[in-house]
Structure 1
Amino acid sequence: MEQDSESKSVLCTLLDKNDQSKYVFFTQKRSAGDVSIGFTNGEDVWKTCHSEENLSQLFKKFSLKSTEDYTFKLKCACKAGRAFVKLQEDSAALHLGAEPTDLSLSLLKLTDSEGKTEVKDLLFKMADSLQQLESQGSTSSFNPVKSPQKRSTEFEPRKQHKGPVVAVRKRFPGDSLINPGTKRKKPATGVAFDDE
């Protein structure tokens, strides 16, 4: 896969804010200046394509400067949890906000063979991007098997405390906890009377 086409595509997870369904959202800029946009639930794929004319109208309507701004806006809406999907029999509507002025897209459902091809392409795109991250050395902090929260900190250097340093006097056995400068008094044991 070419580096140039990789930088012009977007892959992210879309979580439907209404029913919490998960989708993989994707965009891809084509060589003719068109942008294809779609999402999949792993079984079905919905997709649309914007021509340059359609994109220029969207740029004016939403005050965008470039295709990258447009795809970034789509990605942010998906990641922020503002997006929701309305599925019909052979199409879908993707709404990227609750307001009527917010962006909404109409997408067509692909046939089974087209959908399988698209899911296959997405799978290889994801694998290529992971391989690219690995070759750049970025996977040292990312491991899909182990989550970063379960990472052991046993062998990592301790973080230095930043702030005023307060000298703590060592407490010796027998020192009072309440009044640290004095010795603790031993409890009375009573008087021992011996017969001798």
Structure 2
Amino acid sequence: MDQSGSFTKQFYFTVSDKTDGSKYLCYTHDCAGVLTIGVTDAEDVWRTKMTDEIKTQLLKHYSLTSVEDCIVKLRSSCGTGNASVSVEVDQVILRLGPSQKDMSLTLSKLPEDDGKGELKHLLFRMADSLSHCQTTEGAKSLYSPGKSSHEFAPRKHPLRRNGAPTGAPKRFAGDSLINPGTRSKKPATGVAFDDADDM
């Protein structure tokens, strides 16, 4: 498996063929200190290694100072949409910018069996890279900070044997709605006078 430091030399971006608009995946992979640049349409794979010659050309062409700067340049070209590809018979030309003055890299097509193996490894490298990012940055909680999942769940009332909820007390006819547990008073109908005999 890749060491943690090698993840910084990996990237995955889509690039397009400007002639027909078809999409390709451009990726890099650091293997034993050798940077590999690849392009795939998920069926065929084209690949080249970052040789000393290519490094020197990139450093000189773009006035860069280190290999890390070369990787940053590749990422920037692909990430901003400046990079494009053109497919030829057995190779792909990866152009790092829209101008003819921008540098281009030639990637050779892998044999079918090697291409399938590369796609398999690519899939798992992408998964490892994603897992590494999630572990490093921390998985984002689906809930607000300080809140537990049960606080957002609807409150459930326990059920009696007959299926009726026991949470709410039973209300009897005549009970007050404002002061539960007390009987509603009947409105006054008038004043009752004593009989004249009692006076």
TM-score (norm 1): 0.64
| 3-state SS of 1:58 partner | helix
Q: Percentage identity across aligned positions?
A: 41
CA shift in 2, pair 1:53/1:84, >3 Å: closer
Match of 2:75 in 1: 75
Task: Compute the displacement of 1:13 (Å).
Answer: 2.2
> How far, CA to CA, are the matches of 2:85 and 2:128 in structure 1?
28
Match of 1:87 in 2: 87
Contact kept in structure 1, 2:13 and 2:79, CA below 8 Å: yes
Contact kept in structure 2, 1:38 and 1:47, CA below 8 Å: yes
Q: Which amino acid aligns with 2:29?
A: Q
Q: Which amino acid aligns with 1:54?
A: I
Alignment of 1:43-82 (within 5 A): 43-82=43-82
| 3-state SS of 1:14 partner | strand
Match of 1:19 in 2: 20
CA RMSD of aligned residues (A): 2.3
Contact kept in structure 2, 1:16 and 1:81, CA below 8 Å: no
Match of 1:4 in 2: 5
> How far, CA to CA, are the matches of 2:67 and 2:58 in structure 1?
10
> How far, CA to CA, are the matches of 2:76 and 2:141 in structure 1?
24
- 1:16-47: CA deviation from partner (whole Å, max 9, x where unpaired): 44433222111123435x42211111101111
Match of 1:122 in 2: 122
Which protein has the larger Cα radius of gyration, Structure 1 or Structure 2?
2
Structure 2: stretches of 5+ with no match in the other structure: 143-151, 153-199
Match of 1:110 in 2: 110
Task: Compute the displacement of 1:137 (Å).
Answer: 5.2
Structure 1 outlier segments of 4+, above 4 Å: none
TM-score (norm 2): 0.63
Structure 1: stretches of 5+ with no match in the other structure: 143-154, 156-196
* Residues paired across the two proteins, number: 142
